[in-house]
Structure 1
Amino acid sequence: MRRSSFFMMLLVGGSVCSFGQVSTDTTQINYLDEVLVSDTKFESKRRETGKMVIRIGQEELSRSVGQSLAEIINRQAGLEINGSRSRQGEVLGVFARGGRGRQVVVFVDGVRVSDPSSFSGTYDLRLINPAAIETIEILKGANSTLYGANAATAVLYITTKKAVVDGFSAQITSSFGTNQTTEDQRFKTAATSNNVVLNGRNSGITYGAEFGHSYTDGISSINTDDNEEDKNELTTAAAHIGWQISDSWDVRVRATLAKLNTDYDESFGLQDAAYSFLSEQKGIFLSSKYGTEKTEIHLKAGMNSFRSENISAFPGDFEGQNSMADLYGKFFLADGITAIAGLNYLEEKAELAEEETFEIWDPYLQLQGKISPGIRVNAGVRLHTHSAYDTELVYAVNPVFTSQLGTTEIKLYGSYASAYLTPTLNQLYGDFGANAELEPESNRTAELGAQVGLGKTFQLEAVYFDREEENAVIFDNMLFQYENASTKIMVKGVELALGWKASKKLRLTANYTYTDRQGDAALRIPKHKAAFQGIWSMAQGTNLTLQYSYTGKRVDTDFNTFSNEALSGFSLVDLHLSHDIIENKFQLFLRMDNLFNTKYTEIIGFNTRGRNLRLGVRINL
């Protein structure tokens, strides 16, 4: 699409504003009575949780159509997803509270997902299609007692869509737009996204299927004179079926497939190259729940296989598989006292010089006690039993205090917890810098937090965190080998989150994060980061969202010189406009990212996206 297509997009987008009458927005911001899952693995109200939990629901996800999962969570407090602002398909760096990607674990429908064939052992967020997601919860801090090894800075807990009432539904979402840098503002079509989500329920049987496809080109990965375009293509599919066997027992099975085909360039020397990365993930997952008046038992199990190929000057094939089962229950022991007990099994395999395998068996226990009407204490332990390392005990203590003063509700909480991270198979036995002498990493985190809710219009949450890391696994660029860091890494910071329903038609949210990491160069971690969002219900079914984000100064490595350089901070402004042509049935939306075409650097030598437009339609049947 040439420049004429740009004007067509504005024309159609402008027509969105011409419909509707003034209405009342009934959507509300997060309150202390909101139901969460990730803090305890069971449904509990926010006032009972002792950690900072960010919940992203359908309203926010609907304003992010066409964006990747990385772009969506990058707006949240305490998170920096490096690469999310670059060319679509760029390798992502996930930093939560000044930590590294391997200190974050990902769960989908309660099942842990990770890629043991990768260097970091983490799950590739590029493989997750946001159109299939119902909710995202981001649980902050050290949570190894409930979620196992590597849950040191955050748990990303994703729940997929399924039918909750009898009937059949279909959601079709399609969008197209530009994909261009600040310098190249030709406004040609270079990005498309199409998704179909089907769900149904009848006589106790739930079923569903999903298909998604997205494609982008138009931007070179590396910023060069030629700027050869590098494509990115993601195809996803999934199907699920569930049975309500009885009033107390249900079972669900879900199968997934994701294929990623993305081009990239030579980062050493920063030059264009005809390189490609191909990745395929297949998974099957089981979820079962049995509940009585005093007991609730869950089984979460799954198997993931990964196969990827680098087509470059340093080609390579990677294969991995993980199998996981988590059997746990909630038991009501006495008035105000409950226990969560479980046994977790994890097996990781990777095809390296030969097949390498880890096995982990973890029994765990968490007690929750209601000391008085306003005081609760959570305390837990987990025995981490690893086939290659000594057994390690991790622990957590988490008191919570709540008080009601008229329409004002106050929550105070604190925690002290440990976490344990073992080296990955690739770091120990791989072909690139492996070191079989690596020791596990240990983390200890202390937190203090407060949350205030004023009726149903205002909430403010503030958290101070302090983390100590020992034996961190790092890559030594001089030795070209993984090593344990000889110095402790100390990270402290503050997170602030605010929500205000200013009127029936206007809602505001904001967050700020301060992160101070000492002991290394803190690469790509901004010390200051902030975001603001204003949501205005302009008319019946018409909503305008303004998003502002600030990313402060940080340090990055120049791979031409292997020296570290300071990068300037930058601010970005985005707009999202939507209108229901037929209420809850047919919606048009227009998204404008980097509205002021700000030029900035996210990663030295790599391109970033300039002003871009995306127009789309959502149909609910």
Structure 2
Amino acid sequence: MKKKTISFAAMLALCTLGRAQELQQLDEVVVTDSRFELKREHSGKTVIRITAEELEKNQGKSLAEVINTKSGIEIGGSRSNAGQNLGYYIRGGSNRQVLVLIDGVQVSDPSAPAADFDLRLVDISQIASIEIVKGAASTLYGNAAATAVINITTRKASDNPLSATFRSSIGTNQSRDDRKYNPSDFSNSIAVGGRSGKVSYQAGFAQQYADGLSVASSGTERDAFSRFNTNVKVGYQATDRFSVDVFGNYDKYKADMDGYAMDGSFIDTDDRSISKQYRTGIAPGFTYGRGSVQASVAYHKIEREIVSDYPAVYDAGSLVADIYNKYNFNDRFYTVLGINYIRNDAEFDTDQDFTITDPYANVVWVSGFGFNMNAGARLNNHSEYGTHFTYNLNPSYTLLLKEESYLKALGSFSTSYIAPNLSQLYGQFGANPDLEPEEDRTLEGGVEWKTGTLRLSALYFNRREKNFIFYGTEGYVNINERYTVNGTEAEFSVKPVDFLQLDANYTFTENRDQVALRIPKHKVNATAGFDVCEHTFASVSYQYLSDRTDAGGIVMNSFSLFDLYLSHHILSHRMKLFANISNIFNEDYVELAGYTTRGRNVRLGFSLSF
């Protein structure tokens, strides 16, 4: 056990080796928690922002792996076979309580059991930045935004007439017991963009193929995963005040799966999952005086197929329209008024659909004496469940200590609303058309201190679920009891010298009323990075998870993982060579009971820009 669990002191010693990411500066802005660009010290949330620079320093990793290093978040399946289903365990919640946005537009799969969005469909090379707001956020973003909103912003066109970036990497993909280090994971991408006069354009293609691992831990066959992504975005700046963007995406993956034998054991099979996603939309914008009107209309179509002894085909779509007016009365008072329309449809035995039409309003006040308030309300109008009211109160107080230093106290009381999705109501497995909506309330309180290059934050959250939707022997049912989840999140970031950056976070999560499957009570992430010289960068990352319980009462022991990353720029920084080693010490651990986890793996790659 001592070998499996590295002491926290040892982790901190390793943290003196390097630097991981740039410290967020005083003038850093956050958007997702209010839809306005607010300085961090004026925001009442501890918003997580993953910058383009941080994404560059995580080349070779999946989107789920990058998000999984942040406080309050556990992405189950991100350490397993590349095609493994992902579990979004944020603040003790589940997939259906997490809302994903791409360029501010809600995306989901209405045919999926959780109606969630599959992060495996997104390639990290297409992303410019990510903002994560934890806690109930239904006021601004509507149904299902109960434990977190993950807002993914895609890459924008360069100001040059033509620019391009090529990325390619090759790596191993093996379990702990496999020491052959055969190349088994291949990734390539290209992005081209530019601007000419009033027109901008951005296009990209990405591809990944991986095999070498069996999905089942008892299996021996190599279960492959393949994905490709294409995207096109064209913008037109008609006047100084009016602009419009048109975009289209096509993403597809195939993932080999394993299944169950007659005796219930999990074994090698020839099962397979195929998923296709089509997204297209238009986003016009008009500015006037102190305000602007933003709109987006997008259609998102999902086609899925399960090839097994119990085959299934799913066809679903979402039409999403969001129009809102932002108005700044002055540099202290900001308002948002909008209306959001969603139509979800899915094909089961028959075609099923519902619509949601939500007017909403949000106000931000930044006083001149340190007090800040972010407050809003939303009237959810569901075609099946009528009207439901959600609201948010998010006060904070910032004490400016000296230049580039502040102490901020924050609090939040917010509600959310999760209507049963089409799969739960009409799907092929355990459907129940009599389900009632699930309700969620989140209470938060915390502090954040920043001085110079040091930032510390600590936050307590208490989340209460009502009418919890549970899948049991009788299918989907509402649980009349109220469940409470509480926890703490702490973050630390410091740059003690110019060439050294240290970052760490700790999360404690406790479900008071039921067993929290696959969710660790304690989780630690730490990263240290070092600018070896002007052109060379190195980092060491550490992750610790405490014991967890899986289905059937299986206890999965705690584990610790260390990763190493190196990069070097050549050709006047146009070309970057990188290498990473994951699970350096080849830790023997279980992430999901019965499933294979990755052992020590190596990846080499490069990126070239011009």
Q: Does 1:265 align with 2:258?
A: yes
Match of 1:583 among 572, 591, 600: 572
1:359 corresponding residue in structure 2? 355
Unmatched 5+ stretches in structure 1: 1-23, 558-562
> Which runs of structure 2 are paired with 1:93-172 in the superposition (5 Å)?
93-172=87-166
Question: Contact 2:42–2:366 (CA<8 Å) still a contact in 1?
Answer: no
Q: Does 1:441 align with 2:414?
A: no
Question: Contact 2:20–2:540 (CA<8 Å) still a contact in 1?
Answer: no
**AA aligned opposite 2:590:** T
Q: Does 1:327 align with 2:323?
A: yes
Aligned to 1:184, what secondary structure does the other structure show? coil
Which of 33-42 and 159-168 deviates more?
Answer: 159-168
Question: Contact 1:343–1:363 (CA<8 Å) still a contact in 2?
Answer: yes
**TM superposition shift of 1:215:** 0.5
Aligned residues: 589
Q: Does 1:500 align with 2:497?
A: no
Question: Contact 2:454–2:495 (CA<8 Å) still a contact in 1?
Answer: yes
Question: Contact 1:283–1:304 (CA<8 Å) still a contact in 2?
Answer: yes
> Which runs of structure 2 are paired with 1:216-615 in the superposition (5 Å)?
216-224=210-218, 226-267=219-260, 268-333=264-329, 336-407=332-403, 408-455=405-452, 457-476=453-472, 478-479=473-474, 481-557=475-551, 563-615=552-604
* 1:73-108, Cα deviation, whole Å (9 max, x unpaired): 001111000000011110000011111111110001
1:7 corresponding residue in structure 2? none
Q: Cα RMSD over matched residues?
A: 1.5
**AA aligned opposite 2:416:** A
Taking only the aligned residue pairs, the percentage that are identical comes to 38
**TM superposition shift of 1:288:** 2.1
CA distance in 1 between counterparts of 2:101 and 2:331 reads: 31
CA distance in 2 between counterparts of 1:28 and 1:466 reads: 31
2:15 corresponding residue in structure 1? none
Aligned to 2:566, what secondary structure does the other structure show? strand
Question: Contact 2:20–2:529 (CA<8 Å) still a contact in 1?
Answer: no
Question: Contact 1:212–1:235 (CA<8 Å) still a contact in 2?
Answer: yes
- Cα distance change of structure 1 residues 579 and 417 upon mapping to structure 2, 3 Å threshold: same
* 1:209-256, Cα deviation, whole Å (9 max, x unpaired): 1000000000000011x5111000011000110011111221111100
Normalising by structure 1, report the TM-score: 0.93
2:11 corresponding residue in structure 1? none
Aligned to 1:493, what secondary structure does the other structure show? strand
Match of 2:59 among 65, 76, 87: 65
**AA aligned opposite 1:100:** S
CA distance in 1 between counterparts of 2:569 and 2:62 reads: 23
**AA aligned opposite 1:515:** T
**TM superposition shift of 1:333:** 4.0
**TM superposition shift of 1:285:** 2.2
**AA aligned opposite 1:237:** T
1:202 corresponding residue in structure 2? 196
**AA aligned opposite 1:348:** N
**TM superposition shift of 1:31:** 2.9
**TM superposition shift of 1:486:** 2.9
1:81 corresponding residue in structure 2? 75
* 1:171-201, Cα deviation, whole Å (9 max, x unpaired): 1000001000000111101100000011101
Question: Contact 1:541–1:583 (CA<8 Å) still a contact in 2?
Answer: no
Aligned to 1:605, what secondary structure does the other structure show? coil
Question: Contact 2:19–2:527 (CA<8 Å) still a contact in 1?
Answer: no
* 1:296-333, Cα deviation, whole Å (9 max, x unpaired): 21102210111010001111000000000110111234
Aligned to 1:539, what secondary structure does the other structure show? coil
Question: Contact 1:215–1:231 (CA<8 Å) still a contact in 2?
Answer: yes
* 1:349-370, Cα deviation, whole Å (9 max, x unpaired): 0001110001000000112223
* 1:248-284, Cα deviation, whole Å (9 max, x unpaired): 2211111000011000101552111000001100010
1:16 corresponding residue in structure 2? none
**TM superposition shift of 1:371:** 4.1
CA distance in 2 between counterparts of 1:436 and 1:572 reads: 44
Unmatched 5+ stretches in structure 2: 1-17
Normalising by structure 2, report the TM-score: 0.95
1:14 corresponding residue in structure 2? none
CA distance in 1 between counterparts of 2:226 and 2:478 reads: 37
**TM superposition shift of 1:487:** 1.9
Q: Does 1:34 align with 2:34?
A: no
* 1:573-616, Cα deviation, whole Å (9 max, x unpaired): 00010000223201110010000000100111100000000000
**TM superposition shift of 1:508:** 0.7
**AA aligned opposite 2:564:** L
**TM superposition shift of 1:164:** 4.7
CA distance in 2 between counterparts of 1:66 and 1:314 reads: 35
